[in-house]
Structures are given as C-alpha cells and as structure tokens.
Amino acid sequence: MKKLRLQNESYRVLVSSFRDWLDVLGYAESTVYYLPNHLQEFFYAMEQAGITGIGQITSKTIRAYYEQLQQRANERRAGALSKAYLNKHQQALKKFREYLRQHGVQSALQVHLKAERDPGQARSHVLTQAEIKRLFKATRSSHPKSQYRKRDRAILVLLYSAGLRRNEAVSLDVSDILFDRQRIYVRKGKNYKERFVPVNAYNLDILQDYLYASRPRFNIKCDTEAFLLNHHGTRLLGMSLAHRLQAMVQAANDPEISEKQITLHTLRHSIATHLLEQEVPLEKIKTFLGHSSLESTQIYTHLLEKMEDGL
C-alpha cells in the first residue's frame, strides 16, 4: 500500500511535513517511515471518496475508513488485517492529529478509536543531562578495545554535543573538524545545506584524542578522509552508529536509560531540549541544528512545555 500515489498536492505536502515533524521529534526510524505511509494510505482513501481537503474529513468518515480496514483481506496471509496493523493506522491518525494541533490547525480528527496497546511499541524520549553524563561515563567499558571506546565518546560528542544528524556524522571528514576555530563544518546537512557548529574545548579534546590516538588503529584503507571509521578502515555507516549507541546503553546498565529505548536522533533531540532549558534563544538553536525554518525548531518548545507540565 505504500506505493499508492496521491493526486492531491495538499495531501502530499502534509505527508512530507508530517514525516519531517516525526524526524525532528526524534522518533524511531521505523516510526518515521511507517506512520507517514499509513497517513498516505488514509489520504488515498479520502481521494477515492471525493474528499479533497482535511476540512471535509469528519469523525464519521474516519470510522467508515476504519471499518473498511477491519474488513480488508490480509495480503500476506489468510484472514483479516492483524490488530497490530490496525493499531498502527490508528496511531498514525492520532499522531497526525497532534501534528495538526501543534501547528494551530483545528480538525475533525478528534475521533477516539479503541486500540489495543502494543507492549512492544517503542517511543523515543529525551534524556536528562544526568543521563547523558552516564552515557559518556559508560564509554569507559563500552568495548574491550580502547580505540573503540574513544570512538564511542567521539560519537556522543558529534550526535549530542554538536547535535548532528546521523547522516551528517557519517559524512564527516577529518578536515571538517576545525580545531583552531572550535567549529565543525557540516558540508552535507539536510537538503544539502552547509553550516558551522560550535564545539567547546572539552569536546574538541575528545575528538582530538580519537583522531590522533585511536583512528590510526582502525587499519585505514585507501587514504580515506572519513572521520569515523569501522574495523575495516572505511567510513562508519549509520547502522553501525546505532549499534554502538546500543552498546553504550548496555554498558551504562541504567534501567532508566534502557527503558527510554533511545535512538540516534534522541541525542540530537535531547541537546535541543537542554538548550531550551538553558534559555538559549530559539533562533540560535535553529542555526545550531540546521533547521530550514523556525517552525521546525518550535516543536521543541511544545515538548518542553509538556515536560514541565509533567505530561
């Protein structure tokens, strides 16, 4: 169903914007991928019903759509769609309703459908500053070999302290660490936008320690300029970054951190929230994160308000 093509331009824009919103909030990659696909399927059904805008969608429309899903045959096995799949569709609509509300749009997506809780469903949460410190401390035992442990610390600096996206960290070259200027040059940011990210002396020491004491021990191949290397001596990829983060979480042996089921994007999400807590101006956070619009950065203000309210 993910290959369904939407004809309505406004629906296409909403699906794309919804995906970006989930990404900014630090949801797991699977959530960022699947929920917009489910929303796209919903919009496709609306198009088939002659509904061309969210203002025409009613609670009755949504209930009718859900009833169609319950009656639809399962394409992979005999019988109807699984409860887990139906719950995902409901989750997509509920999360989209939240997206609309945070963007000041009132809609009829207020229907409450009963969904069975999926105990395996993971959510990303902001780490506290104390938990971030415990993650850094965990790099003392995150791998038997010291070069891997120092690389783990460098990974935390890039993804948390510098707030880089996964692909930005992966694409980083040695020459992009401007030690004399206390900056990191992000040449392959989102939408190919370049930026300079400030890094303090403490974190630069961590990067320098990895660069000169550990990176040469990764059997560098083909004179690669990649800053983060794998055991083959070539550029470390995103999946390996995720594995290293989980190794750090395990080494931390902290139930509170483990319960949050964090992802790579959680680290970027956390630094943004911590900067807001320290009353750093929103415009500066926007520049730091490399957001194209202030609207994307303002998402964190909504989250911080929820956290302060204990929600």
| Domains of the chain, CATH where assigned | 9-102 (1.10.150), 129-308 (1.10.443.10)
Structural tokens at position 259: 């319960």
DSSP letter assigned to residue 74:
P
Tokens 């989250």 correspond to 303
Q: Are strands 183-186 and 195-198 parallel, antiparallel or unpaired?
A: antiparallel
| Between 125 and 47, the higher pLDDT residue | 47
Q: How far apart are CA 192 and CA 271, in angstroms?
A: 22
Side chain identity at residue 110, one-letter code: Q
Q: How far apart are CA 266 and CA 132, in angstroms?
A: 11
Side chain identity at residue 297, one-letter code: T
pLDDT band at 197 (very low <50, low <70, confident <90, very high): very high
| Between 302 and 101, the higher pLDDT residue | 101
Tens digits of per-residue pLDDT, 133-148? 999 999 999 999 999 9
CA 190 to chain CA centroid, nearest Å: 13
Tokens 């059904």 correspond to 45
CA dihedral 60, 66, 67, 72 (to 10 degrees): 150
pLDDT band at 80 (very low <50, low <70, confident <90, very high): low
**Is 70 exceeded by the pLDDT of residue 243?**
yes
β-strand partners of 98: none
Structural tokens at position 246: 């989980």
Tens digits of per-residue pLDDT, 257-275? 988 878 888 898 899 889 9
Structural tokens at position 183: 């900056």
**Crossing angle (nearest 10°) for helices 294-308 and 264-277:** 80
Contacts of 187 (CB under 8 A, 6+ apart): 171, 173, 176, 194
pLDDT band at 297 (very low <50, low <70, confident <90, very high): low
β-strand partners of 216: none
- Could you list the active site residues? 165, 190, 265, 268, 291, 300
Side chain identity at residue 214, one-letter code: S
pTM for this model (two decimals): 0.62
Structural tokens at position 283: 């415009």
3-state secondary structure of 63: helix
Is 71:80 a contact under the CB 8 Å cutoff? yes
Q: Are strands 183-186 and 177-178 parallel, antiparallel or unpaired?
A: antiparallel
